[in-house]
Copies of this chain bind each other. A is one copy, B any other.
Amino acid sequence: MVAALVGDPARANMLTALMTGRALTASELAQEAGITPQTASSHLSKLEAGGLIEPEKQGRHRYYRLTGPDVAGVLEGLAGLAARAGHMRVRTGPKDPALRRARICYDHLAGDLGVQMLDSMKRQKLIRQTKQTIELTGEGRRFMADTLQIDANMLAHPRRPVCKACLDWSERRHHLAGTLGAAMMARFTELKWAARDATPGSRVVNFSRTGEKRFAALFGPGE
């Protein structure tokens, strides 16, 4: 049954990550779902057998993408039903619930705090999000230079956007990705506001007491 495939939280997270349309490697999907590569491999096999995703070998990577827009449509429909029932409930994946609070998504901040930060930045008009694109405003550039010592001009990258909205699997809302998101996370680390968890491979991000306060001062939740 196809529904059972989507029913598992880990697999649902993977599928959600693929909803962007981009193809992701098996390891990236494992990371996104918060599970080990072994477990992910098992899930990916099942999803492939169920015809929901298709692989593409490229070197020693295996890229997976959704098999078609109809799959995305059904997933969207399921999410719609969940929303309609007031069921936008957060089902954390298998692992650590601290992942929900703050975690690394590749190289930028995700989780509750990541979503909160993007919301706050939009509210403060530091960034402007149009239909498809998202970009720094003039005020945003000043803010980055003054408060975080980030030179927006240095963020340009040939293959990567400065700002990008990334769908958060635990919150099902967007957080900030792109070179800016990465730079901000790097700055937080430099300032010792936050640090990645010591346990190797963990995606958890721990905020220090002062770090949490400073962060809240800049990007606190809506008043």
A binding-site residues for B, Cβ under 8 Å: 1-9, 12, 50-52, 70-71, 73-74, 77-78, 80-82, 84-87, 91
Contacts and interface: CB of A to CB of B under 8 A. Distances in A.
A90 to B, nearest CB: 10
B7 A4 contact: yes
Given A8-B4, A91-B1, A78 B74 contact: yes
B73 A77 contact: yes
Contacts of A85: 2, 50-52
Query: In terms of DSSP, what is the predominant structure of the interface of chain A?
Result: helix
Given A77-B77, A87-B51, A82 B12 contact: no
A14 to B, nearest CB: 13
A83 to B, nearest CB: 10
A33 to B, nearest CB: 14
A73 B3 CA distance: 14
A78 B4 CA distance: 10
Given A51-B85, A70-B80, 7 more contacts: A2-B78, A4-B6, A6-B7, A51-B87, A52-B81, A52-B85, A74-B80
